[in-house]
Amino acid sequence: MSRQKKKRKVSVFSVILLLLLILVALGLALLRPKGDPARALSAQLAGQIPVENETLSGVDASIAQAAVRCFSLEYGAFSQGFLNAEGSVNVTALDTALLAEGLAGDMQALLEKRAAGAKRSAELYEADGTIRPALCEALYAEAMEARLSHAQDYCASRRLPVSLRFVRGEWVPEDADSLYAAITPALLRRPGYAEAVAALQPVRLHYAIARNAPSPVPDPSCYGETTDPDEIAALLETETARRLIAGQRLDFDPGRDMLGRPIYYYLDETILALVWQNDEHGAVGTFAEVIIADASQLRRKLADDTFGTLQYYYPSDFAAQTNAVVAGSGDFYNSGRPDYGLYVYDGQLMRANLHDGQSCFFTENGDMLFIYEDRFESEEEAQRFLDENRIPFSLSFGPVLIDHGEDVTPYDYPLGEVRDTYARCAVGQLGERHYLLMTINCESPDHYVYVTLRQAADSMIAHGCQNAYTLDGGQTGSILIGGQLINPVQFGAEREMSDIFYFATALPNP
């Protein structure tokens, strides 16, 4: 073949190749995906943006509104291949896990605040001691609304890598379902609610009576009377009683012979009182066991609230004046007998015999504290002792029977005909804010079966007292519940006297 023909052949081939390249380039240009991948993705994700939900209400609506305000999407630059693109989207959304973190602590603080202002535990708790569901919801709503007031603190951002491919003329995410799920805010109703409620600890309401304030009126529905010990056993198993008892051992024993007589009781969340009778040394022993929630519920009442007045009242009159749940005759300090021991009222030493007599002080914590003969050199020294030990009042009769578990009953004492058989009266302490009142009497005015002081002390020891003190007995000694005199008294009738001590409910009146 001639050289000229060869050149023509090469030229034709080159033209054909060039045409083919042009056609391929045109084809690629025509087939190359059109549009911005980021803009296409933005349009597709627009449906995932949260909007107001009119079906929600209360705190759920507030959470949804915060989610709307918080939510945003920002798109990074996309690198585009022939039929694919790679890029990222930055999602800012309400982090419900972060929103719920520490919520239990906020709700606990709110519960404590509610408890401080509550008048009755029934405002907060069910009968079994659990927090009322409506209160749980209110605490959650209050705590959550406080957080939502600065919802921006609970918005979180995260970067999500995105792969797109061009399919049938549009850019679509390669794993659309996963991407939508990752972007859609988790708008759970009440996030963290169940966990926060489960962590809440009930706050025990604490009530106290101001020193000079009147005692609240007891709730009549809290009194009861029964001859069935099983009824008392059921009462003591209630949540209210168990909180007051707090693991202490009760003296009340349903197995005792109650002489076929009623058992009287009172129970609210601040006081438990049981009054019963059983045989003591062949005579009638009347006992009142009382547990109080606060020491301020153990109180002293003088006739007309005036030390030294010559006005006298029956114990039942005193009980009515004071709204006493349980009352016991006091020391009859103004009976005209010589002074023995120290006489303290409203924290002040009113009269004193520094050398004779043993006194029982009650501290602001409700503990019994005894002072024996010749304890102080002067009244000033005695007053300093009262101030240092925070003594609101004393009982001054005596003698001391039991001091911190030790039997200290004397053979002789100036008051109370200690070695004669006599109607006896005593008060003891069984534990923390836990007391026992006792009288031992004859059955009727013509049946004189009484006991010596030694026998009375043995009874207080047998009933578990760690501290015990003798009060004025005879016709004076009285135990009342709900204003009703329970023990038989000498000569068959109450005696007017100058004072009582008593136990009150601390529940504020409605």
Closest by CA position to 273, among listed 324, 207, 230, 211 = 324
- Window from 47-51, 239-243, 495-499 with minimum mean pLDDT: 47-51
141 or 32, higher pLDDT: 141
Residue 49 has pLDDT above 70, yes or no: no
Clarify whether residues 367 and 398 are in a common domain.
yes
Residue 22 has pLDDT above 90, yes or no: no
119 or 241, higher pLDDT: 241
The answer to whether residue 22 is domain-embedded is: no
Clarify whether residues 236 and 133 are in a common domain.
no
**Averaged pLDDT, 5-25:** 60
Clarify whether residues 187 and 239 are in a common domain.
no
The answer to whether residue 268 is domain-embedded is: yes
Based on C-alpha coordinates, what's the Rg of the chain?
42
Clarify whether residues 224 and 371 are in a common domain.
yes
Give residue 218's pLDDT band: very low, low, confident or very high (50, 70, 90): very high
What's the whole-number average pLDDT of the chain?
89
Residue 29 has pLDDT above 50, yes or no: no
- Window from 15-29, 117-131, 491-505 with minimum mean pLDDT: 15-29
**Averaged pLDDT, 353-360:** 95
Task: Give CA–CA dist 412/106, Å, rounded.
Answer: 63
The answer to whether residue 209 is domain-embedded is: no
Task: Give CA–CA dist 35/85, Å, rounded.
Answer: 11
- How many structural domains compose the chain? 2
The answer to whether residue 231 is domain-embedded is: yes
Q: Which residues contact 281 (CB under 8 A, 6 or more apart)?
A: 440, 451, 455, 459
Give residue 105's pLDDT band: very low, low, confident or very high (50, 70, 90): very high
446 or 66, higher pLDDT: 66
pLDDT at 110: 96
Task: Give CA–CA dist 315/484, Å, rounded.
Answer: 9
pLDDT at 132: 94
- Window from 162-171, 359-368, 414-423 with minimum mean pLDDT: 162-171
**Residue 185: which domain range?**
30-199
Clarify whether residues 183 and 289 are in a common domain.
no
Task: Give the containing element (helix H, strand E) for 29.
Answer: helix 3-31
Query: Which residue's entry shows tokens 């198993």?
Result: 237
The strand pairing partners of 94, in sequence order, are: 155
The domain boundary residue, chosen from 138, 166, 199: 199
Model-wide pTM > 0.85: no
The answer to whether residue 128 is domain-embedded is: yes
pLDDT at 374: 94
Q: Which tokens hold the place of 167? A: 């399919």
Clarify whether residues 377 and 494 are in a common domain.
yes
Clarify whether residues 273 and 360 are in a common domain.
yes
Dihedral (CA of 437, 440, 442, 445) sign:
negative
Clarify whether residues 182 and 261 are in a common domain.
no
